[in-house]
Amino acid sequence: MSEFRITLVPGVCGGRPTIRGLRVAVADVLELLAGGMTTEEILTDYPYLEREDIAACLDFAARQARREELPIRRDAA
């Protein structure tokens, strides 16, 4: 899995963590999973996402729960 699938870009999704700078917030993907959607359903609804993006969101959540640092690319606006 790429280290930099999770990005912080000022002006994109209110500066919240997103997937590869796209306007898809990590929290939104996690909420879809928590609501019962499968990875396949999410990939069907968001065809520009990749399976590795979903895995990166789960990894991000796990690291946040453990309060571990995660490599995040920070882009200038």
**pLDDT of the residue at 70:** 64
E-assigned strand segments in 1-77: 6-8, 18-19, 73-74
Asked if residue 67 belongs to a domain, the reply is yes
pLDDT of residue 40: 98
pLDDT digit string, tens, across residues 4-63: 899 998 888 998 999 998 999 999 999 999 999 999 999 999 999 999 999 999 999 998
* Residue 3 pLDDT: 67
77: pLDDT strictly greater than 60: no
| CATH code, domain carrying 68 | 1.10.10.10
In the chain, % helix, strand, coil (3-state, to 5) comes to: 45, 10, 45
Output the pLDDT for position 74.
Answer: 76
- Residue 23 belongs to a domain: yes
Domain extent, residue 67, equals 6-74
Q: Kindly report the pTM of this predicted structure.
A: 0.82
